[in-house]
Chains A and B, each alone.
Chain A
Amino acid sequence: MFLRRFARPSSLMMMAKVKETTGIVGLEVVPNAREVLIDLYNKTLTEIQRVPEDEGYRKAVESFTRHRLSVCEQEEDWESIEKKLGCGQVEELIEEARDELKLIDKMIEWDPWGVPDDYECEVVENDAPVPKHVPLHRPGPLPEEFYKTLEAVMGGKLDGALKKDEPVIPATSQST
């Protein structure tokens, strides 16, 4: 075991840091994460062509898949990919990409596209204020590309008022 370790050229160890563990139980480290991700994203982009154009789903998937693919192709290192995307670890990204592929398959099988003519949807916007003593649910900041995807889906109607500039982290949502 030790012989093999010394025989390996040391330059390889200096180029990329080897990930020890993901820190999540049941999720193993994937050493060639970047290649796997690029492969999955390319597959996603070809699969999503089967969804009809003009669907919000297709716009959203294309938007974030392209963004993630470009980041993966630019950066060599798994660490810089993680930092730039801000979407969690590369293993989680792989899981998300695999799930998205499964979902596209299922959506094509179910074929729920198009809105029937007599479609009516009741939209209830309940702005009743919550009493002050009730702890309000305040999730953490979302990754930046989420807003870009939201904007792509809504066709650029998202105006600057809705985008938040800096993440608001109130004391109640600090969780360990």
Chain B
Amino acid sequence: MDNQFIFKYSWETLPKKWVKKMERSEHGNSYDTNTDCPFQLLCFLQLHTYTRVQVSIDICGVDHPSRKRRFEVDYNLLSTRYNSRIRVQTSADEVTRISQVVSPFPPVGRWEREVWDMFGVSSINHPDLRRISTDYGFEGHPLRKDLPLSGYVEVRYDDPEKHVVSEPIEMTQEFRYFDSASPWEQRSDG
């Protein structure tokens, strides 16, 4: 009961224009907003006296391929002063650019690079947007649902040429699909 007060207060106080959807639950409070608002919303949450959210815990992305705006970027925040957590979500598609939140929260730089690298969701005015987790020269964005689990290229060290080469993937075994719905052997006779 107590931890909902800060959330309720912030809901009453912040401009309604920024928030598309709010969720209040014991599992985690969250706001849903448009692509150009996260910077403003996060600055508000950081600076306002009764919602001193000074720590950004994480920024992650989620890919929902069935939706039109398929990527959802999720900012997890923590207020050490009032001991409350809050989540701000934004949705974007492949070409939309999100406003950066690096200026209120400097550590966010790496998280935004991660989101760019893994999903392809870039930020406007980001100071340093480059790949962070994938290999140099990797094409594609790995955590999207349309990139297969094994990827498209494999790398190996080529002894005659004395350097690492990347070649199209060659799998000796076909990708096995395990349907975990039923423990019995899957048969097509009925």
Question: Complex Cα distance A80/B40, Å?
Answer: 36
Of residues 120 through 151 on chain A, the ones whose CB sits less than 8 Å from some CB of chain B are 121-130, 136-142, 146-147, 149-150
Select which of A103, A116, A125, A140 is within 8 A of B24 by beta carbon.
A125
The yes or no answer to B64 lying at the interface (CB within 8 A) is: no
Q: Across the interface, do A139 and B27 meet the contact criterion of CB distance under 8 Å?
A: no
Q: How many residues from B make CB contacts under 8 Å with A?
A: 38
The yes or no answer to A102 lying at the interface (CB within 8 A) is: yes
- Whether A139 contacts B84 in the complex (CB less than 8 A), given A127-B25, A150-B5, comes out as yes
Residues of B within 8 A of A88 (CB): 81
Determine, out of B43-51, B109-117, B154-162, the stretch whose residues face the partner at the interface.
B43-51
Of residues 150 through 169 on chain A, the ones whose CB sits less than 8 Å from some CB of chain B are 150, 153-154, 164, 168
Residues of B within 8 A of A146 (CB): 5, 9, 50
Q: Summarize B's interface: helix, strand, loop or mixed.
A: mixed
Residues of A within 8 A of B85 (CB): 137
Chain B: residues with CB nearer than 8 A to chain A?
1-3, 5-6, 8-9, 12-27, 32, 40, 43-44, 46-50, 52, 81-85
The yes or no answer to A96 lying at the interface (CB within 8 A) is: yes
What are the nearest 6 A-B pairs in CB distance? Answer: A126-B25, A139-B83, A122-B21, A112-B15, A103-B47, A124-B23
Chain A: residues with CB nearer than 8 A to chain B?
55-57, 60-61, 64, 88, 96-97, 99-100, 102-103, 106-107, 110, 112-116, 119, 121-130, 136-142, 146-147, 149-150, 153-154, 164, 168, 173
